[in-house]
């Protein structure tokens, strides 16, 4: 008896849809990508009543081969003269996670009734052992790094800090790690003094240095770096000096530019009589006098004054390693402050003023800022550059 045509189409469609899934996991198995095979097969088998035989077989093969590879790899690493217990623990831990993730599917039968056989490894004791040995190995490594830090190697002290932090993954509060972490942090911290040096031939205005060094240290300080601005502390042994050298101070003369121009406009100014051809007042049909708007030309002279003054501060920031007196970085700094005031007034009839002139009229001339005040304005422009440069220097220290 022939199967109904719609049934054949449904069967063909199901096979077409199933083929890529099976082919995909099979190709992953053949490529030796067992972890990807396990993840894909588990996802497609979970929740299904009828388990695809090819998916079940692929999962079985991938798990058994992955477990075998992990056991062999860990055994090989254990034979080294100095086994890497962190790496060994990672292998055992991954093996345990793989088996734990598979247990909810067990026992696993495919739709043909075949039961998958998984060769599980009793790995729990190995995980605990490698975890303890990894903590001990990292502890010994941290002690060696810390010993170098005590001899003045701040980079080694920082390494010790990070190594000690890693121990928490394997054994929280292991031995005296809390005390050692604090010591490593102290030994690894560097101190930077920031000072201003006037190398120009000009006197710095009062408050110049204080304003320049009024920086946001919260953006520069971190776990490993501490900046002291201005006067160094006596009880601190500094590692670096950030030297802000002021090379030049320039203030332009006070400049006043003046100009005037004439605005002119035709406006209505009352009424005037309409005259006839004889020079008499014309009348309308009712005998009333005829009038019309009177237009006149009005003028206004606009007077403009532009006040300008500029201050320029140039210099550089230099970073020195005080341990060997070496300059390790330098960058130029330039900042400019501008005073500009526009004042405008007029003489004449205000009705003549154009819209542009009206917008500008009203400001009054102002007193020019002193040289010192304008230089301090330039310092305010300079500070963000200095702040950014000091933050960027963290990568060098």
Q: What is the pTM of this model?
A: 0.69
In the prediction, which pLDDT does 23 show?
Answer: 54
Average pLDDT on 371-391 reads 94
In the prediction, which pLDDT does 164 show?
Answer: 97
Which of the four pLDDT bands, split at 50, 70 and 90, describes residue 217?
Answer: confident
Using DSSP's 3-state secondary structure scheme, residue 119 falls into coil
Alpha-carbon distance of 333 to 165, in angstroms, equals 40
Write the pLDDT tens digit of every residue in 301-325.
999 999 999 999 999 999 999 988 8
pLDDT more than 90, % of the chain: 67
Least confident window among 41-55, 178-192, 310-324, 359-373: 41-55
Q: Is pLDDT at 286 greater than 90 in this prediction?
A: no
Q: Is pLDDT at 278 greater than 90 in this prediction?
A: no
Which of the four pLDDT bands, split at 50, 70 and 90, describes residue 17?
Answer: very low
In the prediction, which pLDDT does 252 show?
Answer: 96
Nearest to 25 by CA among 50, 64, 68, 56: 56
Question: Residues in the chain, how many?
Answer: 397
Q: Is pLDDT at 11 greater than 50 in this prediction?
A: no
CB 18 within 8 A of CB 44: no
- Cα separation values, 306 from 228, 232, 243, 355, Å: 43, 46, 39, 20
Question: How many Cα atoms sit within 13 Å of 251 on the Cβ side?
Answer: 17
Q: Is pLDDT at 2 greater than 60 in this prediction?
A: no
Specify which residues 315 forms β-bridges with: 246, 333
The encoded tokens of residue 65 equal 């081969």
Using DSSP's 3-state secondary structure scheme, residue 77 falls into helix
Specify which residues 338 forms β-bridges with: 310
Q: Is pLDDT at 144 greater than 60 in this prediction?
A: yes
In the prediction, which pLDDT does 291 show?
Answer: 87
CA torsion sign for 78, 80, 82, 87 is negative
Alpha-carbon distance of 190 to 227, in angstroms, equals 9
CA-derived radius of gyration, the chain: 43
Q: Which residues 6+ apart lie within 8 Å of 396 measured at CB?
A: 319, 328, 329
Report the mean per-residue pLDDT for the chain: 89
Domain boundaries, the chain: 20-121, 130-188, 190-247
Write the pLDDT tens digit of every residue in 177-199.
999 999 999 999 999 999 999 99
In the prediction, which pLDDT does 46 show?
Answer: 81
Nearest to 333 by CA among 373, 389, 392: 389
The encoded tokens of residue 322 equal 């005080």
Query: How large is the angle between the packed helices 53-78 and 5-30, nearest 10 degrees?
Result: 10
Higher pLDDT pick, 184 / 392: 184
Higher pLDDT pick, 352 / 14: 352
Write the pLDDT tens digit of every residue in 250-277.
999 999 999 999 999 998 888 888 888 8
Least confident window among 6-15, 151-160, 356-365: 6-15
């Amino acid at each position: 008896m022939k199967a109904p045509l719609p049934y054949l189409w449904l069967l063909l469609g199901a096979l077409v849809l199933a083929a890529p899934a099976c082919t995909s996991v099979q190709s992953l198995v053949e490529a030796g990508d067992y972890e990807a095979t396990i993840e894909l097969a588990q996802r497609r088998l979970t929740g299904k009543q009828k388990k695809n035989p090819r998916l079940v077989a692929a999962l079985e093969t991938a798990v058994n081969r992955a477990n075998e590879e992990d056991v062999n790899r860990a055994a090989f690493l254990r034979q080294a003269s100095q086994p890497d217990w962190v790496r060994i623990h990672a292998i055992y831990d991954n093996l345990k996670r793989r088996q734990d993730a598979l247990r909810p599917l067990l026992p696993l039968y495919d739709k043909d009734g075949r039961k998958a056989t998984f060769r599980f490894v009793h790995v729990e004791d190995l995980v605990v052992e490698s975890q303890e040995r990894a903590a001990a190995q990292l502890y010994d490594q941290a002690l060696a790094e810390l010993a170098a830090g005590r001899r003045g190697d701040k980079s080694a002290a920082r390494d010790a800090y990070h190594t000690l932090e890693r121990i928490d993954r394997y054994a929280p509060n292991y031995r005296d790690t809390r005390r050692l972490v604090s010591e490593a942090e102290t030994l690894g911290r560097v101190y930077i003094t920031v000072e201003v040096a006037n190398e120009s031939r000009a006197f710095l205005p009062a408050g110049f240095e204080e304003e320049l060094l009024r920086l946001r240290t919260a953006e520069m300080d971190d776990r490993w770096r501490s900046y002291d601005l201005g006067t160094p502390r006596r009880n601190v042994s500094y590692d670096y000096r950030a030297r802000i050298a002021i090379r030049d101070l320039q203030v332009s003369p006070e400049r006043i530019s003046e100009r005037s121009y004439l605005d002119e406009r035709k406006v209505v100014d009352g009424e005037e009589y309409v005259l006839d051809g004889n020079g008499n007042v014309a009348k309308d049909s009712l005998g009333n006098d005829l009038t019309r708007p009177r237009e006149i030309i009005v003028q206004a002279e606009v007077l403009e004054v532009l006040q300008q003054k500029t201050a320029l501060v140039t210099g550089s920031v230099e970073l020195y390693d005080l341990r060997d007196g070496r300059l390790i970085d330098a960058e130029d700094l330039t900042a400019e402050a501008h005073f500009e005031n526009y004042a405008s007034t007029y003489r004449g009839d205000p009705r003549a003023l154009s819209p542009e002139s009206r917008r500008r009229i009203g400001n009054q001339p102002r007193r020019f800022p002193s040289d010192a005040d304008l230089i301090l304005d330039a310092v305010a422009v300079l500070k963000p550059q200095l702040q950014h440069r000091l933050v960027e220097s963290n990568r060098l220290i």
